[in-house]
Structure formats: structure tokens, C-alpha cells
Amino acid sequence: MAMKSVSICGALFFALLALTARADLDEDIDEGAAAVEANVIAWHRDIHENPELSNHEIRTAALVASYLKTLDIEVTTGVAHTGVVGILHGDRPRGGKAGKVVALRADMDALPVAEETGLPYASTVTSQYQGQDVGVMHACGHDNHVAILMGAAKVLAGVRAQLPGTVKFIFQPAEEGAPPGEEGGAGMMVREGVLKNPDVDAIFGLHVMQLDGTGQVSMRPLGAMASSQRFEIVVKGRQTHGATPWSGIDPIVVASQIVGGLQTIVSRRVDISSSPAVVTVGTFHSGTRNNIIPDDAKLAGTIRTFDPAVSEAVRDEMRQIATGIAQSQGAEATLSFSEGNPATINDPALLEQMRPTLVRIYGDANVRVSRPLMLAEDFAFYQQQVPGLFFFVGVRPPAVAADAAIPNHSPRFFADENALKDAVRAMASLAADYLRQQDRE
């Protein structure tokens, strides 16, 4: 009986020691996030004021790489063109073993959008995009993501002595899609081995959105965001004078009918009660002069679904509609589809495992289940290789009503900087807690 009492006391002692160590690390992370908050805000404003398009994130990548090196983090640059990868090895041994590897990811690219926020650090940058002069803006919030992950790197570097494993920081280019004719983004980073050497066991990522208010986060098990595919339709007619349309074949009229016909796919041909789908035509280009019926017209757009079978059915319907309408007018339609992004699938077990971490930071009532979003994220390519969790950080200021939330990709999108400190806490804590949980196995 005495032996048993000693054993129980020993177990209680080590359990208490573990709880104390956990509380100490949580406190150190919280203090570190508070200490780096001013830097995170400054980085956010600097990156916001100096946005760069996909595969051209040269200044942003240099800023990130330079800072990570000051933290004594191993740095690799030029991954998938401009990507930066940092590796932080924890100093606490795991029973003589190397420990697990957790990855944290931020995307770096901006969009061809002219900013209309009126912020004092608003972008005035212009560039060329697909042959057009465009404004450039962080209209999707990736400037926040980079600043948050730089802050998390600072916090975790400060507690490396307490980490029983390795943290890999992935700063990714081209989440919005590589320019035509180029490779890029998460898929290219995976192909270039970003999840190897050392092999990643789990990965976490976030996205700022005004769908949630500051102080709230949301996530969803399994299908959180839709897959996306780009499509192009070229309608070949026959050029003629605008005064004699009967002597040619008008591709603009044919393409217009195709745009209308495509709308029947979701409204009449897909069972959206079982699987949501979206077909959107985003561009329509044709002609050079008001009195010339052109030779061709070009449409481009996006398909969003959660089910690969539904994606294939949508593509089949598009082919039938486009070619059928074109043939009925004496024209010809050809279609092409990109590989696109798979659906963003959160690992249910990982989500439940890490939910308490987010609850500690935001409170139980503020960690919510998000609805399925038809937006897409190439974070999905990482999730195809390792368990991953992608969550949304609310950045809608308290003064902005929910029904007035500004969507991502709007020229007026902005983020409440008061949300940044807790986002740093969240990313750093997810990495630390994951490693500690694996350490106990």
C-alpha cells in the first residue's frame, strides 16, 4: 500500500509539474505577443503600402528573410520563385528523440486592385497585369498574414528552450494564382519539397475576414472552402462590317447567349441542396472598334464546388451549352479548364485537438463554426499531404455592423489592427501546443 501511495504521489507531482510548465509557456507566449504587437502593426502597414503581385513578392520576401535571420532561424529563399521558409529547432529534447515538426503558413501576394480605403498607409502602387495598367492592393489581407507570422516567429524564437520539436515557417507567394503561363503558389511549394527536410507532421494557416468581428475566430471540419477552377471559352465567329451583320457571324452575340446559358447550370442542372456550386463569368473580351463585328470573343471565369464529381458534371454541362449554342449560330466554341485548387478540407481530429488552444485565447463563445464558403484557398495543397487546420480571424471593427462587412477583394477592404496581437498568440500557441501534445504521446 505504501508503494502504491508513493507511485500516486509521484504521478501527481509530474502532472502538476507539466501543468505548471504549460502555464509558464502560455504566459511567455502571451507576453511575447504583447511585446511584438507594435512591430506587427508596423510590418502590416509597411507591407500594405508596398504590395506586390503574385510571383513578384521580392521586397516582401527580402523583408521576411532578413528578419527571420535576426532570430537565428534557418532561412531558405527562392522557394517557388519568391517563397521564404524558416526552420526553428526547439531546444528541449523529447526523450532523446527529435520531436514532431509543425508548419505555420502565410501568403504574401497582393491583387490588381486600386485601393479606395483612404488609410494613411494606403497603397498607391501601380503595375502591369495581363497587359493592363492596374493599381495594386492587399485587398485580401495577406499583408496581415505576413505580419502575424513574423510576429509568431519572434514569439516562438523567444521560447525555443521550451519547444520539444521543430517549427517551420512558410511564407508563400502566389496564393491568388500565378500569372498566365507561370507556375506558383502552394502546389509549386509542395512540389519543391516545402513539407520535407524535415518532414512536416501538421500545418496551420489563417485568413483575416470581416465576416467575423474582432475578437472572434471561426473554422469548420472537413469542407471549409470550395475547390476552384478557372475556365476559358473562345467563341470563333466571322468578322465583318458592323453595318452588314448578316455577312458574318457575330461572336459577341453568341458569347452573350453562352453567358446566359451557363447560369442554368447551377439554377437548373445541379442539385445544390446536396452540394453547393458556383459558375461565374468574370471577363468578356471582344472587338477593337465600334463598327466592326470581330472575329472572336473570349470569356473567362471560375467554377466552385466541394465535390470532384460535381466539378466534372459542371464541366460537362458547360461543354454542352457552349458548343451547342455556338453551333446553332454557325460559330464555334472551344473550352479549356485549369487544374485549380482542391477544396480546403480541415482534418476533423486536428481541429478538435487544437480547438482548446483557440478557446483559451478567444473564449469559447467566440470560437465559432463557420459556414461552408465558396471562396477557395491553395492551402488545400498542403492539406492533401499532411493534416491541416485553416481558420478565419475576424477583423471587422466594433463600429462596423455585420451587414456592412467589407468583403475580401474589395478596394475598400481593411483589417482592424486590434485583431493582430491575438492572431499572433493563436499561431504561436497552436504550434507550441501541438508540439507539447505530441511530446506526451
pLDDT tens per residue, range 257-312: 999 999 999 999 988 888 899 999 999 999 999 999 999 999 999 999 999 999 99
- CA angle (307, 309, 312) in 5-degree steps: 115
- Among 102, 94, 209, smallest CA distance to 441 is for 94
pLDDT given at position 394:
98
pLDDT tens per residue, range 56-109: 999 999 999 999 999 999 999 999 999 999 999 998 765 556 799 999 999 999
Check which CATH number belongs to the domain holding 316 and give it.
3.30.70.360
DSSP state of 84: E
Task: With respect to residue 86, please indicate whether it lies within any of the assigned structural domains.
Answer: yes
Specify whether the CB–CB gap between 397 and 214 falls below 8 A. Answer: yes
Axis crossing angle, helix 58-70 with helix 2-49, rounded to the nearest 10: 140
pLDDT given at position 273:
85
Domain-ending residue, one of 283, 312, 337: 337
pLDDT given at position 14:
47
Task: With respect to residue 3, please indicate whether it lies within any of the assigned structural domains.
Answer: no
Residue 377 designated active-site: no
- Regarding whether 206 and 231 lie in a shared domain, the answer is no
pTM equals 0.90
Q: What grid cell was written down for 38?
A: 507594435
- Regarding whether 248 and 178 lie in a shared domain, the answer is no
- Identified catalytic residue from 52, 57, 109, 201: 109
Could you give the CA distance from residue 144 to residue 415 in angstroms, rounded to a whole number? Answer: 8
Q: Do you find a cis peptide bond into 198, omega within 30 degrees of 0?
A: yes
Q: Phi then psi for 13, rounded to 5 degrees?
A: -60, -45
Q: What grid cell was written down for 351?
A: 481541429
- Regarding whether 319 and 214 lie in a shared domain, the answer is no
- Regarding whether 179 and 51 lie in a shared domain, the answer is yes
- Regarding whether 65 and 118 lie in a shared domain, the answer is yes
Q: What grid cell was written down for 334?
A: 472551344
Amino acid at 358: L
CB atoms within 10 A of CB 312: 11
- Identified catalytic residue from 37, 115, 143, 175: 175
pLDDT given at position 367:
98
- Regarding whether 41 and 180 lie in a shared domain, the answer is yes
- Regarding whether 348 and 271 lie in a shared domain, the answer is no
Total structural domains in the chain? 2
Place of cell 504574401: 108
Could you give the CA distance from residue 126 to residue 51 in angstroms, rounded to a whole number? Answer: 9
Task: With respect to residue 12, please indicate whether it lies within any of the assigned structural domains.
Answer: no
Task: With respect to residue 11, please indicate whether it lies within any of the assigned structural domains.
Answer: no
Task: With respect to residue 62, please indicate whether it lies within any of the assigned structural domains.
Answer: yes
Task: With respect to residue 309, please indicate whether it lies within any of the assigned structural domains.
Answer: yes
Domain-ending residue, one of 306, 337, 368: 337
- Regarding whether 313 and 181 lie in a shared domain, the answer is no
Could you give the CA distance from residue 160 to residue 346 in angstroms, rounded to a whole number? Answer: 27
CB atoms within 10 A of CB 211: 19
Could you give the CA distance from residue 273 to residue 350 in angstroms, rounded to a whole number? Answer: 28
CB atoms within 10 A of CB 380: 24
- Regarding whether 107 and 48 lie in a shared domain, the answer is yes
Residue 109 designated active-site: yes
Could you give the CA distance from residue 283 to residue 298 in angstroms, rounded to a whole number? Answer: 8
pLDDT given at position 10:
59
Helical (H) or strand (E) element with 359: helix 348-362
Task: With respect to residue 9, please indicate whether it lies within any of the assigned structural domains.
Answer: no
- Regarding whether 384 and 327 lie in a shared domain, the answer is no
DSSP state of 342: P
Check which CATH number belongs to the domain holding 56 and give it.
3.40.630.10
The boundaries of the domain holding residue 44 are: 18-226+343-439
- Regarding whether 171 and 26 lie in a shared domain, the answer is yes
Task: With respect to residue 330, please indicate whether it lies within any of the assigned structural domains.
Answer: yes
Q: Residue-wise pLDDT tens for the chain (441 aa)?
A: 565 665 665 555 544 545 566 789 999 999 999 999 999 999 999 999 999 999 999 999 999 999 999 999 999 999 999 999 999 999 876 555 679 999 999 999 999 999 999 999 999 999 999 899 999 999 999 999 999 999 999 999 999 999 999 999 999 999 999 998 899 999 999 999 999 999 999 999 999 999 999 999 999 999 999 999 999 999 999 999 999 999 999 999 999 999 999 999 999 998 888 889 999 999 999 999 999 999 999 999 999 999 999 999 999 999 999 999 999 999 999 999 998 999 999 999 999 999 999 999 999 999 999 999 999 999 999 999 999 999 999 999 999 999 999 999 999 999 999 999 999 999 999 999 999 997 766
- Among 152, 237, 182, 226, smallest CA distance to 379 is for 226
- Among 388, 378, 303, smallest CA distance to 341 is for 378
- Among 198, 192, 197, 216, smallest CA distance to 206 is for 216
Could you give the CA distance from residue 288 to residue 250 in angstroms, rounded to a whole number? Answer: 14
Domain-ending residue, one of 316, 337, 358: 337
- Regarding whether 60 and 80 lie in a shared domain, the answer is yes
- Among 141, 298, 318, smallest CA distance to 229 is for 318
